Amino acid sequence: MADARTGPAVRRRRQPGTGESHDLLSDQMQDLTNAVQEFIMPKSSQRCTRLADYCSCPIPAEPTQCDTLRKKRGRWIAEAAREGCKRFWKTFVPQLPHQKSDPSAIENGVIVGLAGIQAALDEGNLDFAAIAPPDADLAVRYAVNDLAGFSPWLPALAGHKPESVRKVLYDCILGEWQSPADRKSGFTVMEDLASHGEGVAPLVQDSILELLKASDPPNCSILSAALLVLLKKAVDRRKEARYGDDSLGLPQVL
């Protein structure tokens, strides 16, 4: 019998009419091969769902690094799932949080894609310094959908591709800025910028200030988040003024 943890078991059978022996895959190995091929490149939403299910493990652990996957499915399946995730992320375009009916929900494609990006980074196959702008834009769309807040690699991407990060974040801000006054939740990006936007918030602080100069957002939660983002800018400027250029002043945010 085949064992997914150790490799295939094979039957040795003498080919009729010849004196040669041939190694033929067992039925179980053929099933495993089919599963591996399915995981290598999901071609349907159903397969993507299955791959996401196979990859899933508790946040913040990375799905493709999760020991549970290896123990539950075996080394071959775990490695096939990891490879499938790496190949998948460029084929799927995540919705921005404000575009979803439930901004707090995460699509299976996002789970698989985030796992693929992290796996590629871990293996040194993804270099943010050399990433093409369209792929950088796509990576940011994944990063803003991470359930744990912005993906931890987003500041590194911002260091190399600031315009891609700024552009996608600004699209998110504009979408959330229009939230109705009675909405109680779903302000994913604005809240993340206010709570842990280090390394990326400076890219959109001026844009937020311009939006505030034009008009307040209808929703008080969005207004509060915007002011917190700008307050951090004011604090940073004060630190610069104290330890650097004394001519720097605080921005007028109100």
Query: Structural domain tally of the chain?
Result: 2
28 and 120 fall within a common domain: yes
189 and 254 fall within a common domain: yes
Average pLDDT over residues 168-196: 90
CB 104 within 8 A of CB 122: no
* Element housing 21 (H / E): strand 21-25
122 and 166 fall within a common domain: no
Is 133 domain-assigned? no
pLDDT at 64: 43
Is 140 domain-assigned? no
Is 202 domain-assigned? yes
Is 142 domain-assigned? no
Is 134 domain-assigned? no
CA-CA distance, 152 to 82, in Å (whole number)?
A: 19
Q: If DSSP states are collapsed to H, E and C, what string results for 158-196? A: HHHCHHHHHHHHHHHHHHHHCCCCCCCCCCHHHHHHHHH
Which of these ranges, 10-19, 108-117, 130-139, has the smallest mean pLDDT? Answer: 10-19
Domain end among 98, 126, 154: 126
Chain segment 47-85, per-residue pLDDT in tens: 556 556 555 543 334 444 455 556 666 677 777 777 888
Domain that holds residue 180: 162-254
Is 81 domain-assigned? yes
Chain segment 86-108, per-residue pLDDT in tens: 888 999 999 999 999 888 888 88
CA-CA distance, 198 to 215, in Å (whole number)?
A: 26
Chain segment 202-238, per-residue pLDDT in tens: 999 999 999 999 999 999 999 999 999 999 876 666 5
pLDDT at 85: 85
pLDDT at 81: 75
99 and 187 fall within a common domain: no
100 and 186 fall within a common domain: no
Average pLDDT over residues 118-132: 95
173 and 252 fall within a common domain: yes
**More confident position, 45 or 144:** 144
177 and 102 fall within a common domain: no
121 and 208 fall within a common domain: no
121 and 168 fall within a common domain: no
Q: Answer whether residue 32 shows pLDDT above 70.
A: no
174 and 219 fall within a common domain: yes
Mean pLDDT, all residues of the chain: 76
Which of these ranges, 29-33, 44-48, 164-168, has the smallest mean pLDDT? Answer: 29-33
Average pLDDT over residues 117-141: 96
Is 187 domain-assigned? yes
Give the confidence band of 42 by pLDDT, cuts at 50, 70, 90: low
Provide φ and ψ at 25, rounded to 5°: -65, 140
**More confident position, 142 or 183:** 142
Secondary structure (3-state) at 7 = strand
Structure letter (DSSP) for residue 97: G
Average pLDDT over residues 30-35: 51
Is 135 domain-assigned? no
113 and 175 fall within a common domain: no
